[in-house]
Amino acid sequence: MKKIILIGRPNVGKSSLFNRLARQRIAITSDVSGTTRDTNKAEITIDDKSCILIDSGGLDESNELFKNVKIKTLSEAKNADIIVFMVDGKMLPDDIDKKFFYELSSLNKPIALCVNKVDSKKDEERSWEFNEFGAKTVFNLSVSHNIGTDELCAWIYNFLPKETLKADTSEFDEFLDDFDEKGEIDIQKPAVDYETKNINVGIIGRVNVGKSSLLNALVKENRSVVSTIEGTTIDPVNESFVYEDRVFEFVDTAGIRKRGKIEGIERFALNRTEKILENSDIALLVLDASQPLTELDERIAGIAAKFELGVIIVLNKWDKDHDEFDKVVYELRDKFKFLAYAPVVSVSALGGKRIHKIYPLILEVYKNYTQKIKTSRLNEVLQDAISCHPIPRDHGKIVKIFYGAQFGFAPPKIALVMNKPRSLHFSYKRYLLNKLRESFELNGTPVVLIPKNRGSNDEENNEN
């Protein structure tokens, strides 16, 4: 597995980027120079490829301890496959940074210069000064605002080896067998009657954002205990509610804290929350609109994405003017890029304001989440997308999509039957997903898009 090392002088944001790419808080971050002294490692996934990410100690020679850290860091760099060299965009380039960058460049490994902390137009103008490094690959980052990390990941992705697709395609394999027998494309019938089953809705969020108040407002009774004490809800509280002849099964889950603050019985509550989400169709992600968004909010949003649920973002405790809504939604979209498909609604659970907007949204998201997409229309959209922006070749070889077909539901799962499925870059998959969202009603639902060979004797299947 390829190793990617984050390297640079102290306090340039290496540990923050490490935590961002690992999607969890592993490395300790602080404003104190030299906080990281040993290396941290984590296996991460960039789209469908895995790699080892390494957070190194800062390159410093100010005392004996830091000199030893520097020696260890440079040794790790020599054993790494890809180098991400970080500098502080709030500062002007200096000779020490240049010296280390040139030393690392001489290792003849893929190396990118990342100018971090580019948080404003002024910072962006200053970042041009770093062109004097002569780096071929440069990224401006604002790790704290999650800006530029997608571009960095796309660059790293190109140097990672192809892997066997890990996605569970057993449903598709059955579909393909059926296709081979019939000689025609048809959408597989869902095993569940989605038109009559109860709609399971999990209410999630960090502690004290108003999940219990929201449940009480939704079912129109005081079903869940509410207090200002954080962590009041430990056991899941569920209640049914009928709306337009459909049964909603709401479950108020325990609030999630930062990992280091979870104690005793709350550990069991967290496990139960995840079990509830495994059996849910839709997650109501509750955020406290009276407070700034936190990294923990982002992590909890990631849990909803992990279980491939339909998602509605609920801004609770909303007391701002209507004009502020677009501004807050813009910030949400920037922080939760992976939930760009989720609709946002502002409410005041305690006052019961705008709660009525959630019910039709649940029905809409559920309909999209469980829908059957007509195969002929699906392929029209795919062909139009490919005509407008052809699939990039793989080392000169043509990459073709023969057809697309839906093979699963809740969420919609679409197979792209291809000649070289592993050659479909994740950025092109993202382009196709955007085109599908433009053409079909997919508000609130993720879409699983899986490139797949037809048959087991193809050249791709025989590759090691």
**Residue 403 near residue 381, CB atoms below 8 Å:** no
**307/182: higher pLDDT:** 307
Q: Can you tell me the mean pLDDT for 35-52?
A: 72
Please check whether the two domains, 3-157 and 170-190+372-462, share a CATH topology: no
C-alpha triplet 335, 340, 345: angle, nearest 5°: 90
At residue 377 the predicted structure's pLDDT band, cuts being 50, 70 and 90, is very high
**379 marked ligand binding residue:** no
CATH topology of domain 199-369: Rossmann fold (3.40.50)
**434 marked ligand binding residue:** no
Structure tokens at 23: 């999607």
- The sheet with strand 448-453 has its strands ordered as 401-408, 413-418, 448-453
Collect contacts of 233-238 with beta carbons under 8 A, ≥24 apart: 234/265, 234/266, 234/269, 235/269, 235/272, 236/272, 236/273, 236/276, 237/212
**78 marked ligand binding residue:** no
- Residues in the chain, how many? 464
**365 marked ligand binding residue:** no
Collect contacts of 455-464 with beta carbons under 8 A, ≥24 apart: 458/419, 459/420, 460/419, 460/420, 460/421, 460/422, 463/162, 463/422
Residue 329's identity, in one-letter code, is V
**135 marked ligand binding residue:** no
Q: Which of 101, 104, 38, 43 is nearest to 68 (CA)?
A: 38
The DSSP bridge partners found for residue 37 are none
**73 marked ligand binding residue:** no
**252 marked ligand binding residue:** yes
**393 marked ligand binding residue:** no
**11 marked ligand binding residue:** yes
257-294 b/e (C-beta count within 10 Å ≥ 16 → b): beeeeeeeebeebbebbeebbeebbbbbbbbbbeeebe
Structure tokens at 363: 């029905």
- Per-residue pLDDT of 215-272, as tens digits, reads 889 988 754 433 343 443 334 467 889 999 999 999 877 655 544 444 443 344 456 6
Q: What is the pLDDT of residue 456?
A: 45
At residue 211 the predicted structure's pLDDT band, cuts being 50, 70 and 90, is confident
**106 marked ligand binding residue:** no
Q: Can you tell me the mean pLDDT for 319-345?
A: 86
**404 marked ligand binding residue:** no
- Per-residue pLDDT of 63-101, as tens digits, reads 554 566 677 778 888 889 999 999 999 998 888 889 889
Q: Can you tell me the mean pLDDT for 117-143?
A: 91
At residue 331 the predicted structure's pLDDT band, cuts being 50, 70 and 90, is confident
Q: Which of 5, 7, 127, 4 is nearest to 60 (CA)?
A: 7
Cβ atoms within 10 Å, residue 323: 7
Q: At what angle do helices 265-278 and 295-306 cross, to 10 degrees?
A: 40
- Distance between CA atoms of residues 102 and 169, nearest Å: 46
The pTM score is 0.61
**97 marked ligand binding residue:** no
- The hierarchical CATH code for the domain 170-190+372-462 is 3.30.300.20
**253 marked ligand binding residue:** yes
Domain ranges of the chain: 3-157, 170-190+372-462, 199-369
C-alpha triplet 109, 115, 119: angle, nearest 5°: 155
**255 marked ligand binding residue:** yes
- Distance between CA atoms of residues 291 and 409, nearest Å: 36
**207 marked ligand binding residue:** yes
Q: Can you tell me the mean pLDDT for 3-19?
A: 88
**116 marked ligand binding residue:** yes
Structure tokens at 141: 């980052």
- Per-residue pLDDT of 413-445, as tens digits, reads 999 999 988 888 888 999 999 999 999 999 999
The domain defined by 3-157 carries CATH number 3.40.50.300: yes
**317 marked ligand binding residue:** yes
**210 marked ligand binding residue:** yes
- Distance between CA atoms of residues 209 and 317, nearest Å: 8
**211 marked ligand binding residue:** yes
**9 marked ligand binding residue:** yes
**254 marked ligand binding residue:** yes
Residues 6+ apart with CB under 8 A from 15: 27, 28, 29, 35, 36, 40, 55
Q: What is the pLDDT of residue 161?
A: 85
**8 marked ligand binding residue:** yes
- Per-residue pLDDT of 261-276, as tens digits, reads 444 433 444 566 777 7
Question: Quick one: 128 exposed, middle or buried, by C-beta within 10 A (0-12, 13-18, 19+)?
Answer: exposed
**352 marked ligand binding residue:** no
Structure tokens at 220: 């129109």
**209 marked ligand binding residue:** yes
**59 marked ligand binding residue:** yes
**15 marked ligand binding residue:** yes
415: region left, alpha or beta (phi > 0 left; psi from -120 to 50 alpha): beta
